[in-house]
Amino acid sequence: MNDQPASATAARARSHTAPPCALVIFGTSGDLTRRLLMPAVYNLSKAARLSSNFALIGVDRSKRTMQQFHDDLGEGIRKFVSDTGGNSEAGGGEPFDEKAWNFLTQRTNLVDGDVTQPLTYKRIAEDLERAKREHQTGGNAVFYLAVASSLFGTIIENLAAAGLMEETDDHWRRVIIEKPFGNDLASAKALNARVLKVVKESQVFRMDHFLGKETVQNIMALRFANSIFEPLWNRDHIDNVQITVAETVGVERRAAFYEQTGAMRDMVPNHVFQLLSLTAMEPPNSFDPDAVRTEKTKALQGLVPFDEGDLQRNVVRGQYTAGVVRDQNVSAYRDSDGVAPNSKTETYVAMRLAIDNWRWAGVPFYLRTGKSMTRRTSEIAIQFKHAPFALFRDTAVDSLSANVLALQIQPDEGASLQFSAKKPGPEIQLGGVRMDFRYRDYFRAAPSTGYETLVYDCMIGDQTLFQRADSVEAGWSAVQPILDLWKNDHRAPLEFYAAGSAGPEGADEMLWRSGRAWRPID
C-alpha cells in the first residue's frame, strides 16, 4: 500500500506538504466545521501544507447551492481571522488570504444526502472518482466525521459497505472520529468493536483536539529533551501533580446535551486523561506512533482502581449556582433551558488518583475541571518536594515556598518555573520568584484552531496524537466505577459552587486532608 511512514519525524523530514488526497467532511453545516475545522483547513492552505492535488467534499442534508456552501464556510473562516486579529486597524495579525481561500473553493464540491442511506455513499464514490480525475488526488481520502456521535458507527459501516474504506497499493483511506467516543465503558467497547469489524485500526484516527495544542505536544519535548527535568520526574522528587481544566463559559446552548453528559463524561476520559498520560508516561523507545501510544496507555492502565470508600473521599462532583463571571451575571445551571429543576448533573468534578508503578508510587495526581469558574485556564502543575528546612532554622525564614513547574496549555501557551530566592538585605529571607516562558515571545506562530496539526497528521498517516482503541477503553475503565456510584445519589452527594468561583469546598477539603492546596486559578 502506498502509505506514509508511521514516524512523524520521518514524514515531516521527507516533505512539508501533505500527499495528494480528498478531505470528505460529514456535517459541513455544523458549528464544529464552520468554527474550527474549516479555519484549520484554510490555515493549512495558507501555509502551503496541502498538496496541489487536493480536493474538498462536503456531505450533509442541507439543501444549499455551491455558492451558499462557499459563503457559509467562508463566513466562519473570516470570523476566525477577524477574532484572532487578522483585520485589526492597528495592523496586528495577517489579513484574510484570498489566494488560500480560492485554492479551496476551486477544489470543493457538495454532496446532499442522508448519511443513513446507501445512495449517499454512491454519490460520494462518484465525487471521489471525479476528484481523482480532475484534481489528481490519487484516490486517497480522509473522511472526517463532524457529526453527532450516534452516527459514527453508521457512517463507517456505510463507507465500508460501499467499498470506500478499501485500500490498495495505489491509495489509502482514513477516518477521523471526533469525541465523545462512547459515553461509558460498555458503549466505548461496543463502538470500537463495531468500527474495527469493518476497518483496520491503522485507518482510524480518534480525535482529541487538546492534543493539537502546542504545549501539550511540548510535554514530551520538555521531559525527554532536557536533562534538568527528566531525572527529577519521579516519586523521589515530586510531591504531587495538579491538572486543571477550568472554563468560564457555562453550558450555553448545549444544556440538553450536557444534561445527559456532565463534566465527567465530557472532559475526563478524553481531555484530562490525555494530559495525565503525557505527564505520567514512561519514555517511549522512539517517536513512532505506536511506541508513544503504548506508553500513554500503560500510564492509564496503571491507575489504581477506586473502591467505594476511595470514591467518597477522593472524588467531588459539583454544580454551579447563580453568580458573576467576568463581571457578567450568570444564572444557575438548573435555570438553563433544557435542564431539569432538580438536576443532579455535575458541571464540576475533582478527584485524587494514584498510579501504581515504580515512578509514581505514593504521588497523588489531582484533577479538576469545571464550567462557569473564575478564570479560563488549562494547566499541568508539577509540585516538587520541599528541600530540608534544617539549614534555615536559625534564620528569619519560617517556611520554604513550593517549587512548581507549570505548563500552561490555554489561553496563553507556555511554561513557568517557581522557586525560592534570597530577598535583598542583610538578613537571610526568602521570596518566591518565577521564570516565565511564552510561545509568543520566542516563536512566531500564526493563529490556529488546534486542528491544523491533527488534520495534517492524518493526511500523512501519523497516529501519534490520536487515541488507540485500548487507550480509549483504559480511560473509560478508570471512571466507570465513579459513574456507577453516582447512580445512587445518597452515597455521592452533589455539592454546589457559585458561578465565578474556583469550585466547591469539598474539592479544597480533599487536598487539605493531606496538608496540600490547589494552585489558585483566580
* Domain presence at residue 3: no
CATH code at position 103: 3.40.50.720
Q: Which pLDDT does position 461 carry in this prediction? A: 94
Same domain, residue pair 129 and 241: no
User: CA-CA distance, 475 to 454, in Å (whole number)?
Assistant: 21
Distance between CA atoms of residues 163 and 193, nearest Å: 19
- Number of domains the chain contains: 2
Per the domain annotation, does 323 fall within a domain?
yes
Who contacts 493 (Cβ-Cβ below 8 Å, separation ≥6)? none
Candidates 135, 171, 209, 271; catalytic one:
271
Residues 39 and 140 in one domain: yes
Identify the pLDDT of residue 70.
86
Helix runs in 118-272, H state only: 118-135, 152-161, 185-196, 214-224, 255-259, 262-267
Q: Is residue 191 part of a domain?
A: no
Q: Does residue 204 lie within any of the structural domains? A: no
Q: State whether 249 and 356 are in the same domain.
A: yes
* Residue 2 within any structural domain of the chain: no
Strands 21-26 and 141-145: parallel
**Residue 64 pLDDT:** 80
Please say which residue of 129, 160, 178 terminates a domain: 178
Instruction: Let me know whether 29 and 146 are in one domain.
Output: yes
- Last-in-domain residue among 135, 156, 178: 178
Could you give the maximum distance between any two Cα atoms of the chain, in Å?
83
Q: In this structure, are 109 and 233 located in the same domain?
A: no
- Per-residue confidence (pLDDT) for residue 378, from 0 to 100: 92
Q: Which three cell numbers stand for residue 507?
A: 474539592
* Whether residue 220 is found in the same domain as residue 173: no
Task: Please state, in angstroms and rounded to a whole number, the distance separating the CA atoms of residues 75 and 88.
Answer: 17
Whether residue 240 is found in the same domain as residue 291:
yes
Domain of residue 283, CATH code: 3.30.360.10
- Let me know: does 510 contact 219? Beta carbons within 8 Å: no
Compute the distance between CA of residue 33 and CA of residue 15 in angstroms, rounded to an integer. Answer: 27
Domain that holds residue 361: 211-512
Q: What is the pTM of this model?
A: 0.88
Residue 168 lies in a domain: yes
Last residue in a domain, options 163, 178, 193: 178
Asked whether residue 169 falls in the same domain as residue 265, the answer is no
CA distances from 164 to 5, 22, 79, 152, 496 (A): 22, 12, 34, 15, 49
Q: For residue 275, tell me if it sits in a domain.
A: yes
Domain-located, residue 203: no
pLDDT on residue 310? 80
Q: For the chain, which ranges sit under pLDDT 50?
A: 1-14, 87-92
Provide the residue count of the chain: 522
Residues 300 and 397 placed together within one structural domain of the fold = yes
| Contact in structure between 365 and 510 (CB atoms under 8 Å) | no
Quote the CA–CA distance of 205 and 361 in Å, as a whole number.
32
Q: Quick one: 167 and 216 in the same domain?
A: no
Q: Tell me, yes or no, whether 317 and 378 share the same domain.
A: yes
Active-site residue flag, 271: yes
| pLDDT at 274 (0 to 100) | 92
The reply to whether 174 and 216 lie within a common domain is: no
